Amino acid sequence: MAPTLYMIETSTSTRAVLMVAKALGVEITKHYLDITAGEHLTPEFLKLNPQHTVPTLVEEDGKVLWDGHAIVLYLVDKYGKDNFLYPNDSYTRAIIHQMFYFEAEYLFPPLSKITKNMFYGNGKIDPNLLDDMGEAYGILEKLLEGHLWAVGNETTLADFSIISIITTMDMVLPIDSKTFPNIRAWIKRVENLPCYKENIPGLRVYKKVLKKYLK
């Protein structure tokens, strides 16, 4: 029986999990939550995840995990072969974790605040948050310098974790190819991976939401 992923399509970490699962050949049963209806706050879901966040993974034996980074590390450790996406080298793994922290500390916060304002605020974008996004783009541009992928010259978990959020940010603050050529080239490489298609439905939904709230 396949593990169940409680999710919403617009969640960047959910899309990262779906891409990693696809790359590993892991079948996932998708359980869509209606956040607007409060399905993430039901007693049943709170029993699974007191933080009431998505994605949340539930294995057939009852094991529960939440946080996208924790889930992809678990999936690759349990289902991965030949250290695919998570090389055994300790330094490479440390850099993958470093990229996770970069994503969580620099990429996610401004996008998260803008998204919450679309749903619960006045729908306007704070220019300071756009400045934060631009600064994060500049750091990522440097981090990608001299190699093909987020960590070295092989695809790793870091690529999927970051691509889901950077392609979403691109809808809010377009990434200029002249200013950020490394980012644009890297995005293209990830888009050519077969598992990237798992990122597309969520991006389409986010685009519709963006147009609705930012008319």
Q: Which residues pair with 57 in a beta bridge?
A: 5, 65
Dihedral in degrees, nearest 10, Cα atoms 49, 52, 57, 62: 20
CATH code at 90-213? 1.20.1050.10
State residue 123's pLDDT score.
73
pLDDT lower than 70: segments of the chain:
214-215
State residue 118's pLDDT score.
77
Residues known to be catalytic: 11
State residue 134's pLDDT score.
97
Tell me the C-alpha distance between 14 and 8, whole Å.
Answer: 7
State residue 122's pLDDT score.
77
Tell me the C-alpha distance between 68 and 72, whole Å.
Answer: 6
State residue 39's pLDDT score.
95
User: What DSSP assignment string belongs to 188-211?
Assistant: HHHHTSGGGGGGHHHHHHHHHHHH
Q: Which two tokens stand for residue 147?
A: 């190699």
Q: Please provide the average confidence, as pLDDT, over all residues in the chain.
A: 95
Portions of the chain given CATH number 3.40.30.10: 4-79
State residue 215's pLDDT score.
58
State residue 124's pLDDT score.
79
The class (CATH top level) of 4-79 is: alpha beta
Portions of the chain given CATH number 1.20.1050.10: 90-213
